[in-house]
Amino acid sequence: MAVKLLLANDHVEGIRYYDTYRKHGGYTTAEKAFKMSPADIVEEVKKSGLRGRGGAGFPTGMKWSFLAKPEGVPRHLVCNADESEPGTFKDRYLMEFHPHLFIEGLLISSYALGSNATYIYIRGEYAWIPDILEQAIAEAKNHGWLGKNILGSGFDCEIYVHRGAGAYICGEETALIESLEGKRGNPRLKPPFPAIQGVWMRPTVVNNVETLAAVVPIIAMGGDEYAKIGVGRSTGTKLLSVCGNVNKPGVYEIDMTCSVEEFIYSDEYCGGIPKGRKLKACIPGGSSVPIVPANLLLKTAKGETRYMNYESLSDGGFATGTMMGSGGFIVLDDAQCVVRHTMTLARFYTHESCGQCSPCREGTGWMYKILKNIEYGKGKMSDIDLLWDIQRRIEGNTICPLGDAAAWPVAAAIRHFRDEFEWHVLNPDESQKRNYGLAHYADPIHVPAGA
């Protein structure tokens, strides 16, 4: 049985409310934290090896240690709850069903970083969740966990919920900061990094919801113990949100030691592929990470078993591997069309590009148009190379990583499924009828990986 830290109380009815949460050990970790110095908490988080759970996987303790502390200047913790990466809905689950765990993590982290005013930037579409969070905040405040002089420590903390209004780009931390300041979500040039000049030009740490919730078990058990869970540099547990063609979509907590095959086919997790279909491909870490065909998903190019952790998923680089990303696990069965799926992702990135950098603003639109042509039977063979060329010119040429995020899915789709693009060009009538015509994928497991 896998270790459960964040969802350990998932079965407890009413865990959303203060009394039940408290009865199950809630806020005892905050009590422990307030007996420690802020520096000690940062040290424990460093020792835990916790990596940012939003997608980039940057070590959280290190990010915290970069925070500037100039005399007389307030600093802020901002929680990134702008979860918008297609395939990802784990933070929503945590906030909706475990709001107090999240608030406790925010409180401990605010204390560690010296943030007297902490903001939760939540995507606007999650319109019912601010009410849940504000209720949890009010309950916590009534019981003395927020407000002035918490537990007699002399530390004051308020947590505010700030609703966005529908912009994927605001999940990028500097765009989020701009948006929190009441502006368009245009990412900033770095440096200066938010740790030096963030919101209102004050030192700021931006962390994902799951990252901040994980601070609770880290402080409860100690950083060293937390680091023993998992494998290598993939320490602790990770939430995965599973969608697409599986029997049991939903949110799962894994300890990063199970194999991809076990994750997809065991009843404890995804429960296999429905309707007796076969696994064709998977995007394991949110729409931005490379799609991989089944054979490369279950085993690395060297033929070794692939595991559900940062290192194993990225084994082989982009040529034959992919990434852990945000944990948005999208599964495609053998009836699905990679061209159409890639087209919807290109449309998504076109819609969400902030328009600041030309390669992304123009490139995402071109990619969508070309993919639409191919999907609807109006494509030419040369379009496939043109697509490759465009994505290559976007990657690395933009202020923020949205450009890369838009380029990678297209690149990976062509890299591994080029014959499917060619099929669309050669069979325009059938592709228009949305007859995916994938008869040539009799056994997708054995499709050879492209160059």
The answer to whether 381 and 422 have CB atoms below 8 angstroms apart is yes
Q: What is the x/- site pattern for another protein, positions 280-299, by CB under 8 A?
A: ---x---x------------
Which of 85, 172 has the CB closer to another protein?
85
Q: What are phi and psi of 46, to 5 degrees?
A: -60, -45
Peptide bond into 187 cis (omega under 30): no
Question: Of 106, 345, 360, 367, which one interacts with another protein (CB under 8 A)?
Answer: 345
CA distance 112 to 60: 12
Is 444 a binding residue for another protein by CB under 8 A? The answer is no
Choices 38-46, 88-96, 203-211, 306-314 (CB under 8 A): range interacting with another protein? 88-96
Least gap, CB of 165 to another protein (angstroms): 4
Least gap, CB of 434 to another protein (angstroms): 8
Applying CB under 8 A, what is the total number of residues that bind another protein? 57
Is 86 a binding residue for another protein by CB under 8 A? The answer is yes
- Please enumerate in sequence order all residues whose Cβ is within 8 A of that of 146, keeping only pairs 6 or more positions apart, or say none: 103, 107, 137, 140, 157, 158, 159
CA distance 415 to 391: 12
Question: Of 22, 162, 372, 418, which one interacts with another protein (CB under 8 A)?
Answer: 162
Which of 165, 442 has the CB closer to another protein?
165
Which of 139, 352 has the CB closer to another protein?
352
Taking CB under 8 A as the criterion, which residues in 165-184 touch another protein?
165-168, 179-184
Choices 53-61, 125-133, 148-156, 358-366 (CB under 8 A): range interacting with another protein? 125-133
Give the H or E element holding residue 112: helix 99-113
Is 200 a binding residue for another protein by CB under 8 A? The answer is yes
CA distance 424 to 420: 6
Least gap, CB of 162 to another protein (angstroms): 7
CA distance 145 to 378: 61
Is 393 a binding residue for another protein by CB under 8 A? The answer is no
CA distance 330 to 432: 25
CA neighbor of 273 nearest in space, from 288, 294, 303: 294
Residue with tokens 């919920």: 161
**Residue type (1 letter), 238:** K
CA neighbor of 30 nearest in space, from 140, 161, 158: 140
Least gap, CB of 12 to another protein (angstroms): 21
Least gap, CB of 367 to another protein (angstroms): 14
| DSSP state letter for 273 | -
Is 356 a binding residue for another protein by CB under 8 A? The answer is no
Choices 248-256, 257-265, 358-366, 439-447 (CB under 8 A): range interacting with another protein? 248-256
The C-alpha angle with vertex 22 and arms to 21 and 27, in degrees rounded to 5, equals: 105
Q: Which tokens hold the place of 53? A: 């759970």
Strand partners, 77: 205
Least gap, CB of 208 to another protein (angstroms): 14
The residues binding another protein (CB under 8 A) are: 74, 83-89, 92, 117, 119, 123-128, 160, 162-168, 179-185, 200, 241-245, 249-251, 283, 287, 328, 330, 332, 336, 340-341, 344-345, 347-348, 351-352, 354, 434
